[in-house]
Structure 1
Amino acid sequence: MATLISPASAPPREPSAAARVFLEGSHRLLIGNDWVAGEGRSIAVENPARGEIIAEVRAASLDQLDQAVSAARSALHGDWGRMSGRDRGVLLSRFADLLDERAELIGEVMTLDNGSPLTSSTMVVRHLAAELFRYYAGWATKITGDSFQPSLTARPNLDFLVATVRDPIGVVGAIVPWNAPPGMIALKMAPALAAGCTVVLKTAELAPLVGELFAALWLEAGGPAGAFNLIHGHGEDIGAAMAAHPHIDKIAFTGSTAVGRKIVEAATGNLKKVSLELGGKSPVIVFPDADLDAVIPAAAMACYLSTGQQCMAGSRLFVHADIYDQVTEGVAAYARTLKVGDGLASDTVLGPLISARQKARVLEYMAIAKAEGAIPLLESELIDGPGHFLGPALFTDVTAGMRIEQEEVFGPVLVAIRFSDEEGVIDAVNGTAYGLSGSVWTRDVTRALRVAKRVDSGQVGINIHAAMSAETPFGGNRQSGWGREFGREGLDGYLKTKAISINLGPKL
């Protein structure tokens, strides 16, 4: 039976005066540095913690999408295209400073938009978004090519030199999710602009408001017209039109694997480049010699952070049979201490799910788990109040191949799988369609490295889960995506290489 666990005890505070002024203002698009009213469908923005509509946003029309793309393409050949790498870097650094200055407001709007605890939201602004802009600001002056003398056997008497040039890929259509808008926007915007591309950003319809604050900061930082454009819209119309748009050169998307497939299909019209950061079903692998005092809280938060609404969530807990009961009971006990509530309550650790629809989806997966024979060691539904709250759940006696073990739930649902040997756990770990993140927990360095190498994921931590930094590449294998974000690899996806062959004349 569902039980009410650890509700936040501190009452949520009301939105600040600055947040109220923003919410009550007009919500517009930014096209070529001009604020314009959207001409498409109205989008009601809900605070998922209170079930209240906090703003109305008008989507862009298809004509306005064309205008944004046109402004972005003009900027490539205008002031933005003529800007040096140094000046781009200075601009991005200035933008990072503005993010730091406005972190409280942006974080609060994120909390109102998607329900995240305020401390987490502000941290996303300061320690992810601002740091990404600073990191890629440094790269703007370091985009260089190469030179070499080729071996042209068909022309042995001529001397050649080849120079390679790294050029911006062009107009980037960036489509971001609702779960951490400041970080997701920065992951697209910062490397694209550092590379010299221009950007048309579509916000997530479930959490569109942070994008407007980024657009306002772009103007305040002095960004040239058209280099960054902001539009709102639903994925099925504006997002689909972006993916198919003949004058967008690249789509950078973070979201579900199902939508990622649709983007790939739509992109074939002009064979635009596509980078995809998609779903995951990431493993946390615990061996008998692991430090359980570190493992238990880390394994819990690997799954339950952001109420499980994160692509890198460690939602599959593989525990050696010798310590299975100790670990699962420890994780359940730790999870019971996590305060669930409104993100504006000071002691909230887990906020609401994003929508009633998502809550229903997670409850359905919990029912599926029980029908498949999984045992609910912890089954917690927070049902009081108008928000879309669910407490953390933990299922034991899960076996490989169960739907709850194979499919991404995107909610606070952890499944525990027992293993007895290293070879068998590797097969089980790699037995899903996904390959995004994961972690290995052991004091044996040799075993840790051996297992980490065999986990088919874009990122694997040893005695830590999802250790992300601006410098560390992140992305998925298999159906978890194409390409990498963060680090130098995150910049490479926004550049194209041109080889220039120079005939130096007869060899002397």
Structure 2
Amino acid sequence: MNLKQQQYINGNWVDANVGNTRDIINPFNQEVIATVAEGDASDTKAAISAAREAFDKGEWPTTPATERGAIVRRIAELIERDKEELARLESLDTGKTVEESRGDMEDIAGVFRYFAELADKDGGELIDSPIPNSISKVVREPVGVCGQITPWNYPLLQASWKLAPALATGNTLIMKPSEITPLTTIKVFELIEEAGVPAGVANLVLGAGNTVGAELSDNTDVDLISFTGGIVTGKKIMQAASVNVKKLALELGGKNPNVVFADADFEVAVDQALNGVFFHAGQICSAGTRLIVEERIHDEFVNALVERVKKFKLGNGFDEDTQMGPLISAEHLAKVEKYVETGIKEGATVAVGGSRPDDPELQDGFFYLPTIFTNCTTDMRIVQDEAFGPIITVEKFRTEEEAVKLANDSIYGLAGGVWTNDIAKAERCVAKMLMGTVWINDFNLYFPHAPWGGFKQSGIGRELGKLGMEEYTETKHIFQNLKPESMNWF
């Protein structure tokens, strides 16, 4: 592996200030696949200082938008060039199948292309002035220094959602990837350097959230924090950001309902219910882990799910026939096991799964069988908490109103789905579902043009789309009096 294993600060690849390192583990077999620098608050301060200098005194914020867009487009081209290496690294790092990782790389390049094209499309807005002989206009300017904290489940995809709009709008940034899955982010910073992003504009600090992430949140030279991760950490970031009233963009996960009516296309709904949860072993913030099925097809639907799940092939993400890889770590495996134990204690029934696999070839990895719970109610933790693993809970409903009520019974509001061939019914449900994205006869589809984010405790702000671009800008109103006159008030 020729990948750099250092941090990238002010245009230089550097070791951690105090020399610490961290081993990166393959979740399939626990082998060490890399040893990378482990930064701390001192490294983070150096990166913040570089980003502050580059924003306040550098040329990047005032570089013509077409030129910034060209550099962001070049990053997309380099990602496409190196997509096989990136996909391999992503699968080594996370355990997901290499086919899924290849699809991620296409999406990631698409994100950079989208924001590259958007970079020069907002030339401001002239607004009607009530004052004669004057010009009133609204422009958007970069926020400043941006702290970006990404999760371990989709390391480079989530990084792209933050890097591309921040660079396109003229900000400077410090990115902190998850300390357990940093490899593709390190690689993309090599590509950022190759694309010609000036020194100090994009900085990479490797390390833990309680050191690097805390410094980004606390430091008054950071103007914005964009964080994707758990709700507990998100709340801490909100508290820390209040020190200097930072702008915040938070995506804090979800417990996403997937509502299936009896008049839906049965086979497609079954297939998509499985796809909606079991990609990447359920470690997806938008996973449709709450399956809400109309009572008259409930039993048949569950039986169909169980029969399909029994045939799942677990294994190495680099094996062509593998459908689901391992969980990310021993700690996360233990967390998922604890949720299953809690669900059983609460009275839910394990229809399939509910344990580690007994296949000897999987014993060195962090594997857990795909699991379906039935007899679930909304007062159960297994229904309300984001277990972030290969678990589906199944609830029943009789009426359209009950289905919507169940779907909304959550502190989260990230995403949801409705399956029915009655489009009027689907539209009525969607209008009442309190989520940032609702799919009709689909699940887990996203693309760069559409905004992504949640209602309620799923977060603040949006990523992707024009709204995702606007998160990285400040709005300025400029008024020019073309014929100033004395007021003679005093």
So what's the TM-score if we normalise by structure 2? Answer: 0.95
Superposed, 1:270-281 pairs within 5 Å as: 270-281=244-255
Q: Counterpart of 1:15? A: none
**RMSD of aligned Cα (Å):** 1.4
What is the one-letter code of the residue matched to 1:233?
G
- Mapped to 1, the partners of 2:309 and 2:173 lie a distance apart of 41
Deviation for aligned residue 1:145: 1.5
Does the 8 Å CA contact 1:438/1:461 hold for their aligned counterparts? yes
- The aligned amino acid for 2:443 is H
Classify the secondary structure of the residue corresponding to 1:188.
helix
Structure 1: gaps spanning 5 or more residues: 1-19, 153-157
Cα displacement (A) at 1:506: 7.0
Equivalence for 1:483: 461
> Are the counterparts in 2 of residues 163 and 501 from structure 1 also a CA contact under 8 Å?
yes
Residue in structure 1 matching 2:190, options 209, 216, 232: 216
1:103 aligns with 2:78: no
| Separation in structure 1 between the aligned mates of residue 121 and residue 484 of structure 2, nearest angstrom | 34
CA distance in structure 2 between the partners assigned to 1:235 and 1:486 by the alignment = 24
Cα deviations by residue, 1:335-389 (Å, 9 ceiling, x for unpaired): 2222111112121111100011111111111111111111111125224321000
Deviations 1:191-211 (A, max 9, x none): 111111111111101111111
Amino acid at match of 2:185: G
Q: 2:443 aligns with which of 465, 484, 499?
A: 465
Task: Spell out the pairing of 1:90-489 with structure 2 (5 A cutoff).
Answer: 90-126=70-106, 128-151=107-130, 159-380=133-354, 381-383=356-358, 384=360, 385-489=363-467
Aligned to 2:69: 89
d(CA) in 2 for partners of 1:402 and 1:161?
59
CA contact (8 A) 1:143 1:195 kept: no
Quote the offset at 1:33 in angstroms: 1.2
Distance 2:436 2:171 in 1: 26
Provide the secondary structure at the position in 2 that maps to 1:297: helix
Question: Are 1:438 and 1:460, in contact at CA under 8 Å, matched by a contact in 2?
Answer: yes
Number of the residue aligned with 2:488: none
Per-residue Cα deviation, 1:255-306 (whole angstroms, up to 9, x for no partner): 0011100000010111110100111000000001000110001001111111
- Provide the C-alpha distance between the structure 2 equivalents of 1:277 and 1:429, rounded to a whole number of angstroms: 19
Q: Counterparts of 2:208 and 2:170 in 1: how far apart (Å)? A: 27
Amino acid at match of 1:122: R
Identity %: 36
Q: 1:143 Cα shift?
A: 2.3
- What is the CA-CA distance between 1:502 and the residue it aligns to? 1.4
Contact 2:45–2:215, Cα closer than 8 Å, also in 1? no
Separation of aligned partners in 1, 2:218 and 2:317: 37
Count of aligned positions:
479
Paired with 2:53 and 2:311, the residues of 1 have a C-alpha distance of 54
Q: Which moved more, 1:160-169 or 1:410-419?
A: 160-169
Task: Find the residue that maps to 1:386 and give its secondary structure.
Answer: coil
CA distance in 1 between partners of 2:221 and 2:322 (Å) = 45
Report the AA paired with residue 93 of structure 1: R
2:153, 2:142 → 1: CA distance?
29
Alpha carbons 2:61, 2:142 under 8 Å: kept: no
3-state SS in 2 of match to 1:174: strand
Cα deviation 1:48-101 (Å, max 9, x = unaligned): 100112222222232221221121122223132332111111111111011011
Q: How far, CA to CA, are the matches of 1:437 and 1:466 in structure 2?
A: 8
Q: Which one of 486, 501, 505 corresponds to residue 479 of structure 2?
A: 501
1:5-20 to structure 2, matched below 5 A, reads: 20=1
Aligned partner of 1:72 in structure 2 is 51
Query: Aligned equivalents of 1:110 and 1:225: distance in 2?
Result: 26
The SS at the match of 2:450 is coil
3-state SS of 1:125 partner: helix
Report if aligned partners of 1:281, 1:312 keep a CA contact under 8 Å in 2. Answer: yes
**CA distance in structure 2 between the aligned counterparts of 1:213 and 1:389, rounded to whole angstroms:** 27
Give the SS at the match of 1:505.
Answer: coil
State the TM-score, normalizing by the size of structure 1: 0.92
Note if contact 1:394-1:413 (Cα within 8 Å) is conserved in structure 2: yes
Aligned to 1:9: none
Contact 2:145 2:223 in 1 (8 A): yes
Write the deviation string for residues 408-441 of structure 1: whole angstroms up to 9, x where unpaired. Answer: 1000010000100111121111111000011000
